[in-house]
Every structure is written in structure tokens, then in C-alpha cells.
Amino acid sequence: MTPERPQRADATAAAVERNVPLGAPAVSPEVETSAPEAEGAALYAALDLGTNSCRMLIAQPKGSQFVVVDSFSKTVQLGAGLEATGRLSRSSMERTVQALRICQKKLVKHGVSRMRLVATEASRRARNGRDFIRQVKRETGLALEVISAEEEARLAVISCAPLVSPRTEQLLVVDIGGGSTELVWIDLTAVAPEDRPRAIMRLHMGFDKQGMGQARVVDWISVKLGVATLKDQFADVEDDGARFALMSWYFEENLSSFSPYHAQAPREGFQIIGTSGTVTTVAASYLGLRRYDRTKVDGLQMSSAQIDHVIRDYLALGPEGRRSDPRIGRDRHTLIMSGAAILQALMRIWPTDRLSVADRGLREGLLYAQMSADGVLGDGPYR
């Protein structure tokens, strides 16, 4: 029997209070499009609270995929000032709590009973991060889970599995966040070409769970520099071009402990997948999109030369030009150059004609994990 809406709302309040993690994250092959809610179908939620943004998806399973019923995304700048003080500021916490209240209302409105709500780098790093998590629970009822850098990296990798080419033998996955950047280098030479996307997905069990015929994680790193924290490091440099160059070289210096940094990029069978607002914004700028279109961006392949052309265009625009450029957007214009500096450093180290743009990430992985754990997904190519 299908429960009535008030009963589902009560169940949601209890679920928000518990917020029990529902299994290891995995990949979602879905396309993010909103759709009407099917009566009686179970709803799932995934919330990602990062250094710069708060994002949530509410979805329901459909076959081997899922359909997004509702979504929320807001720039909250939780990590504003963190680089200088080591603490989350009162104003940034208040902004974030306001956004989380909206998320909580959406969860109750839709009667969501299965959810995983996670926080990343800013909450990991801040001296008052635990106090903030307790404040969120007290004021919104949402029990956020602060995940490790390795789990964040795993989520970035497995969410991109559908974009892995069967021709790829060496894969670099890059997730440029607000407070940190995760890089994972994977050797796929021991995996049959047709099984390479599935091999990537199996890494949800951990980067050290490797055997014969499986994907091998050569190395991974979480650099404590993202678009917000890198920008803050060089806020005192007035010249736009000089600031960009300093940011790019400084980020590269922080990669010295990443073992593939010292190896040349393979000429054949090499693929980079980039997942972040920076990468999708650069892709949208390359395509000349005045209105963002995920279907055109997700899966797009760009060369190092094409990326460099977009970045040089950003530099030519200057701060005022970037502020008014519709391809960049009002929420992104102050952060695009620090993100572009990270991207340029990566292209300088590992030049490629196959950077795949991924408009997918942590939320999608969390949703798929919950649905997979509950056994509500049908058989599919990435099951």
C-alpha cells in the first residue's frame, strides 16, 4: 500500500534525523534532467556541501538509471577566509545554514526517506568544522557526514566511469573543487577494453582493492588548493596576468609528490577526465554557450590547445570583461581564473587531445550507491 503524503513527511523528518550512510559510493549513468515524481516511487537524496557551493539532488530510480525530481545549487562560500584564519567565519556559516534550510524543506516536501548528506574540504580543514556540523544538526535537523579526501577522490573517479573510452590504457581523473583538487592516475592495461568503464566503477571498494585483470591505481593525491583557496593565496597580487601565472606555477609545485608528475604523458591510450565547475565553464565558453546546456557539455572532448585558447580569451577580457561574460556566469567569474590556473598547470604537465569534460560527480555517486544498496536498480551497463 502506498503511504499517504503526511506519513511520508513524518518518515522524512525521522530520516533527516538519522541520516544513516547507505553503502559505498558508485557511479550513476543518469542524465541530469528534472522529471515529474512517479506516485509511490521511492525518492533518494544526495547533498554535497563543498568549500564554495551547496548542491543537492533528489531522484528516483528508473531502470538501471535514475531521474532527477528536484535539485538545489547555491554558492555559499563556506570556506571564505579559511585560508587566512583556519576557521569558518560566522557569516559563511550563516549563509550555509540558510541554504541547508532550503534543502531540508525540499526533503520534507518530497517525502525523501533515503539520503546521504556529506561535507568536504572546508569542513575537514576548519578548526571549528565539527562545531559547525553540530550547529547544522541543531538548526536544520540535517546530520552532515564529513567524508575523507580519499572517498571524495573515489567518488570523482567512479562518477566518470561512463566517459572512459575502451581505447584508454592510462587514465587521469581530476576533480577541481573549492578547497582542494583531487587527482587519480589509473592503469587500465590489464583490463579488457570492453570492461574498462566497469573496472573504474569497481574502485568504489577502495583504491587498494586491486587484483589481476583489474584497474590499478598508480597514485592519487588531494592537493589542498581549489578555486577558492588558491584565489585567496594570491589575493594581494594586483596584476591580473601576474596573479594567474603565479597561481598556475604554485599549483604545479604542489604536485611534486604525485608520482606521475615525473613521467611523460603517454602518446597513445591516454585520457584525462575533468570534473568541476571550472572544466564545465571552460567547455561552455569553448562552445560559445550563452545558456548552459549539460547535454552539450558532458562528455565533450577538448585538446590542450583548445583549452589554452579559452584561457587566453579569459585573460584578454580582464576582470571586468569576465564579470559581464554570460558564458562564465555571475557565480563563477571571481573563481574562474584560479580554476583555469589549475587546469593550465595540468595541461602543461600532461598535454593531451583528449580531455573529457564531466558534468557529474559526488552527488551522482552517492545516489547510485544508495539505490544499488537497496536493490532498486535494474540491470544496466554500469550495474
82 is a domain residue: yes
pLDDT at 158: 82
* CATH code of residue 321: 3.30.420.150
Q: Are residues 137 and 70 in the same domain?
A: yes
On whether both 177 and 100 belong to a single domain, the answer is no
Whether residue 206 contacts residue 251, with contact meaning beta carbons closer than 8 Å, is answered with no
Please write the tens of the pLDDT for every residue from 86-113. Answer: 999 999 999 999 999 999 999 999 999 8
Question: What is residue 361's predicted lDDT score, i.e. its pLDDT?
Answer: 84
Q: Is 382 within the bounds of a domain?
A: no
* Domain at 74, CATH number: 3.30.420.40
Sign of CA dihedral 345, 349, 354, 359: negative
Q: Kindly state whether residues 192 and 91 are assigned to the same domain.
A: no
324 and 370 together in one domain: no
- The DSSP call for residue 183 is E
Sheet holding 53-62, edge to edge: 65-75, 53-62, 44-49, 114-119, 145-146
Cell numbers 593525491 correspond to what residue? 221
Q: Which domain, by its residues, includes 54?
A: 5-148+363-374
Say yes or no: 221 and 295 in one domain: yes
How many domains is the chain partitioned into structurally? 2
Q: Where are the strands (E) in 140-209, listed by range? A: 145-146, 170-176, 181-187
Check residue 370 and give its pLDDT: 81
Please identify every stretch of the chain with a pLDDT value under 70, giving residue numbers as ranges: 1-41, 209-212, 378-383
Identify the three-state secondary structure at position 203.
helix
In a domain, 155, yes or no: no
Query: How far is it, in rounded angstroms, from Cα 339 to Cα 320?
Result: 17
Please report whether residue 114 resides in a domain: yes
Q: Are residues 12 and 72 in the same domain?
A: yes
For the chain, the first-to-last Cα distance in angstroms comes to 29
Same domain? 349 vs 369:
no
The reply to whether 105 and 25 lie within a common domain is yes
Q: Give start and end residues of each alpha helix (H) in 329-361.
A: 336-349
Q: 284 with 354, same domain? A: yes
Which secondary-structure segment (H or E) carries 58?
strand 53-62
CA neighbor of 245 nearest in space, from 236, 234, 255, 256: 234
Residue 185 lies in a domain: yes
What pLDDT, on a 0 to 100 scale, did the predictor assign at position 383?
A: 37
Q: Are residues 142 and 165 in the same domain?
A: no
Residue 260 lies in a domain: yes
Q: What is the pLDDT of residues 252-272, one digit of tens each?
A: 999 999 999 988 878 789 999
pLDDT at 26: 30
- The single-letter DSSP state of residue 350 is S
Of residues 271, 338, 367, 296, the one with CA closest to residue 23: 367
Q: What is the pLDDT of residue 205?
A: 74
> 169 and 124 in one domain?
no
Q: 338 lies in a domain?
A: yes
- What predicted TM-score, i.e. pTM, was given to this entire model? 0.82
Q: What is the pLDDT of residue 209?
A: 58
User: For 320, left (φ over 0), alpha (ψ -120 to 50), or beta?
Assistant: alpha
Report in angstroms the alpha-carbon separations of 215 from 69, 155, 263, 354.
Answer: 34, 15, 19, 20
Distance between CA atoms of 279 and 252, rounded to whole angstroms? 17
- 380 within a domain of the structure (yes/no): no
Instruction: Verify that 303 and 172 share a domain, yes or no.
Output: yes
Report which residue type is found at 207.
Answer: F
Task: Supply the pLDDT for residue 300.
Answer: 97
